[in-house]
Amino acid sequence: MTSFVLIHGGGLDRRCWDRLVPQLDRTALAVDLPGRGDHLAPLASVGLEDCARSVTDDIDAAGLDDVILVGHSLAGCSMPGMIELLGARVRRAVFVACTVPEDGKSAFDTLDPEIQAMIRDAPEIVEPRPMAPEMAKIVLGNDLDDEAFSWCVERLVPEAPRLTEEPVDLSPLRGGVPCTWIRTTQDLIVAPAKQLRFASNVGDCRVIDLDAGHMCMVSQPDQLASLLNDLED
């Protein structure tokens, strides 16, 4: 049977999927991108190609053949590279509240000009650090109760800066891999309207709405699992 491979988003690791995995009806491999978990690496050096290679190596190590890639948020930038490396082994790609810039653009390029200016003007951060709980509450926790939000905060980790700065190559998405987009309609960090634009960058992509915020695998794991379990290989 085709297996799920779950790819976390920015500032997270594979533990963000812990509430979802038990409800999936297929084998599910939740992976850590480089620089977190057992995949030790200097975050400053981690790029999109490193993520694609790391996930491919994890899939090989797990002995998986056909897979459905399920990426969340910033994973939308690295998934095309994974599809290129894995080739026909990818039976479907699922983008959950993802950021997918236009071809040749970066995740940073998708931000509103005011946000870009704030980032450029911010004091230099020598070491990446997890998102502050106060900010996380605003952009990630709008549909999480106190217990779920605390659970989420415990899983926040520093992010690799290059993953938001590198331009994406969307050409692997033109190879005919079926794509599905799960749009989180309560999302405050990747707005529903912006998600539609990102889905159009993917190309031929079926959009399914889920009444949840950005961390839908935490707030609505049963509903997300139902959508994933209903997908065709």
> For the residues 157-167, what does the mean pLDDT come to?
95
- Tens-digit pLDDT profile for residues 192-202: 999 999 999 99
> For the residues 106-130, what does the mean pLDDT come to?
74
At 124, the pLDDT band (50, 70, 90 cuts) reads: very low
Domains of the chain and CATH, by start = 3-229 (3.40.50.1820)
Check residue 60 and give its pLDDT: 98
User: Worst-scoring range by mean pLDDT, 84-88, 112-116, 154-158, 205-209?
Assistant: 112-116
> For the residues 164-184, what does the mean pLDDT come to?
97
> For the residues 168-192, what does the mean pLDDT come to?
96
Check residue 79 and give its pLDDT: 98
Check residue 115 and give its pLDDT: 67
User: Worst-scoring range by mean pLDDT, 35-49, 109-123, 148-162?
Assistant: 109-123
Residue 137 CA from chain centroid, whole number: 19
- Tens-digit pLDDT profile for residues 35-65: 999 899 999 999 999 999 999 999 999 999 9
Percent of the chain whose pLDDT exceeds 90? 89
pTM: 0.95
Check residue 42 and give its pLDDT: 93
